[in-house]
Structure 1
């Protein structure tokens, strides 16, 4: 069962499962403030990532969430805000 929070480790796993890992990019490094583009993920990879997050955590993300959140830190903030709101309801 999914937790009440999406962690950076969860996100790294989902990114790897959804689209692999770009050669020369170390997802195990400090990636929180790198753009997804710099990490080698295009819009299709991010859409798949968003779909996996939705399935694992039982939420529905806004269509623009993935495109607006340009970094892992921004995506984690948006997803975790939504998870907190849904669990508080």
Structure 2
């Protein structure tokens, strides 16, 4: 999927990218409301998030520096970071 610079990323799109980039733990259901569930509880570590950031860079044309990912610990926080970066890039 490719997106314009002014296209916002949704939680659903993010969880799909998360699944495709980093897999899905057998004990975790990403179809529910996971927006505020910490990545550690979802079974994802910082390496998985770097994979996702790379995929978002390719799909959305937005660069997420590693230091910007520090403190991003939930899907909602990650999506908000992407969307604020898209807004300033556009």
What's 1:49 paired with? 52
Gaps of 5+ in 1: none
User: Can you list the C-alpha shifts for 1:58-82, whole angstroms capped at 9, x where unaligned?
Assistant: 0111212223210011111111011
Structure 1 stretches of at least 4 aligned residues deviating more than 6 Å after TM superposition:
none
What is the total number of aligned residue pairs between the two structures? 87
Structure 2 alignment gaps of length 5 or more? none
Residues 69 and 75, structure 1, Cα contact 8 Å, conserved in 2? yes
Q: 1:5 aligns with which of 5, 8, 15?
A: 8
| Partner SS for 2:42 | coil
State TM-score, norm by structure 1: 0.90
Greater RCO (CA < 8 Å, at least 6 residues apart) = 2
Q: What is the 5 A alignment of 1:30-41?
A: 30-41=33-44
On the 8 A contact 2:39/2:75 being kept in 1, the answer is yes
